[in-house]
Structure 1
């Protein structure tokens, strides 16, 4: 397969971050429902920005109230992604769990920002899900060791959903992205939730390699992934390779990931074993996002629409698929990006500009550190110093 595009670092970072936000906004209004329910509610498949599931009753209709999901509003996936970019902009170097405790948690707790789903300025802490509030509980109030704070949290996609910036900072270095994301995610998640964060970062990093394809991205994921996460990705992507359109793939992809998913068939009523640590299981979102990327052959529009119409946790699935397709260089439709930016009242491009500048600074530091190591190692007689 030929490469999707020959892109610059800046364009790949922009594609990934804007693409993630667009996927998030398109998936939000149908999150938690099945493909059949989506089909019935919308009289066909979702093919762009749509309104709230319950129309004007979104403020009180359960189980979504009081969030205005739909009409182009991004969700907590994007809020957390942008928050992590701000941490990189502050630290201007690689991050770890201590950076989460020292910078991300205070940002969530103390800096009011525009929250599209609340249509108001509020603390991000007032919007994020309980699995993300765990960061504040454990790190600020519990004074837990940041590297171990994720233990005890529900195991879900909460850390993976905002790890794209880690893959971008480590562009074209999947192993480095995986290691850094595992360190960061230790403050938030454990078990296969933490593993998914590492693999998603590796996937985004792999998508930035010149000449990358969906197949090469999946291969890099399989090279680093462990246990049930690896098995789930392999099973889903083997199934996805048999399809070139998302409609006939919806059922087969769910069937392929089901043995590894702990939530069970009813997304709104999880099974007794749901979201508990395990070496045998995986989050559903990452394998399905990679599967949709495979079905779409890397095309942004098809990967995101497949993820959205899959239902279940489709805002996070589409966030991941959008980041991956965007990093590969598949164009994010201007009309979608414009609608989401305007509706959410957010500059979707500013975080990309910021992260691109920081990424270049970090690479320069890495190069200096590498040269210092090479010189010291050569002094030990280990190898000649590179010219």
Structure 2
């Protein structure tokens, strides 16, 4: 796929968000939005990985402002690998997905494999696996100290791709997926991201994406409050990008709290970056990266939202070309899978570009994917 960078007007000029697609004409196709959402997730993940858990001042001392990959060998993290994991599961079961399917997949692909110490994932995944290996079942498997983490939000975009134009369905499906590993605010974070991507998939602009995200979570929840604060702060006028980023970060981050993987925080920062950039892909992910904290996840979420709004053509070509098959650094069973294969699976070849995926069927088959990669081999 050829990816072409776009050069929109200054995204930080304080103009209000529009409910219409604000950037490109003609509108991207459904498949192009699917590729944009999932490749955007992987690009954001790889861009943000070196800055994870860093403060903006630390980022500036080390690299200045990050404007592209700062690693000679960029790669995604658990964000991309778990998105592939959930995407394969969704491709197999579609709207018929059940908690039992999800729990079985966690056992089959992760918990029951004899591969030594679990590596490269966050606290919520570790807690879930410990519970599953003790014989606990969902939803008790999600009862651990990090059930509020952003581990579901980071893998939620495939549900929005599958349920294009159906935010409620996207939220329902990601809740089923998340019930094995998350609870409360952790679930709300996943619902917000899945619904936002679902709205973007059928042409909603930034205002519509944000509205869809807020529509599927309790308005008095921590996640909703953080999301609103981040977005409102982002829409104000600022003299420069650095001032804007400081304001958005301050509006969302709980100062002094040691963990950076809070779902309400990560979702608030990601939607704030997306709103500040008015849906522009490059500005969305770089804003998220340069705010630090859980930078791989915030940039992955912002990239998924902006990629679904603008399509894959908005992703700079050199960024997209750097994303290869995942290495299994977190999930060995996912090694060799490519994130774009998931887009192929979730948007079937025979689906009209303006149609919604039929209820109750997967978004594609486990065939016809990128040469050399067989998703069925991992299932």
TM-score (norm 1): 0.76
Q: Find the residue that maps to 2:322 and give its secondary structure.
A: helix
More displaced stretch, 309-318 vs 227-236: 227-236
**1:49 corresponding residue in structure 2:** 69
Q: Which runs of 5+ in 2 are unaligned?
A: 1-17, 328-335, 362-379
Query: Which of 1 and 2 has greater Rg?
Result: 1
Partners in 2 of 1:46 and 1:362 — Cα distance? 38
1:351 lines up with 2:342 in the alignment: yes
For each residue in 1:267-313, what CA deviation from the matched residue of structure 2 results, as whole angstroms up to 9, or x when unmatched? xx349xx96xxxxxx62111111111111111100000001101010
Q: Is the 8 A contact 1:153 1:189 kept in 2?
A: no
Q: Which residue of 2 aligns with 1:78?
A: 80
Q: Is 2:296 the partner of 1:304?
A: no
Indicate whether 1:318 and 2:299 are aligned: yes
Distance 1:148 1:85, change over 3 A: same
- Counterpart of 1:158 in structure 2 is 151
Cα distance in 2 between the residues matched to 1:105 and 1:325: 33
1:105 alignment partner in structure 2: 107
Unaligned runs of 5+ in 1: 52-69, 113-121, 276-281, 368-387
Give me the whole-angstrom Cα distance separating, in 1, the residues matched to 2:188 and 2:107: 21
1:165-218 alpha-carbon deviations (Å, 9 max, x no partner): 1111111111121122122211111121111111111111111122x1111111
Matched with 2:357 is 363
Displaced runs of 4 or more, over 6 A = none
Give, in whole Å, the separation in 2 of the partners of 1:84 and 1:359. 23
CA distance in 1, matches of 2:242, 2:58: 14
Q: Quick one: distance in 1 between partners of 2:275 and 2:152? A: 23
Aligned to 2:213: 221
Calculate the TM-score normalised by the size of structure 2: 0.78
Higher relative CO (CA 8 A, sep ≥ 6), structure 1 or 2? 2
Residue range with higher mean Cα deviation, 243-252 or 177-186:
243-252
1:108 CA displacement: 2.3
- If each structure's helix is expressed as a fraction of its own residues, which one has the higher value? 1
SS of the equivalent of 1:349 reads: helix
Deviations 1:338-373 (A, max 9, x none): 123289676342221122229959933449xxxxxx
Pairing partner for 1:188 from 173, 177, 181 = 181
Question: How many angstroms apart in 2 are the aligned matches of 1:213 and 1:187?
Answer: 32
Checking the alignment, whether the CA contact within 8 Å between 1:92 and 1:362 is kept in structure 2 is no
Q: 1:94 to 1:47 in 2, by over 3 A?
A: farther
**Are 1:110 and 1:123, in contact at CA under 8 Å, matched by a contact in 2?**
no
Number of residue pairs aligned between Structure 1 and Structure 2: 323
CA gap of 1:206–1:148, structure 2 versus 1, over 3 A, is farther
With over 3 angstroms needed to count, the CA separation of the structure-2 counterparts of 1:99 and 1:343, relative to structure 1, is: closer
Of residues 356-365 and 178-187 in structure 1, the stretch that sits farther from structure 2 once superposed is 356-365
Please say if residues 87 and 104 of structure 1, whose CA atoms lie closer than 8 Å, have aligned partners that are also in contact: no
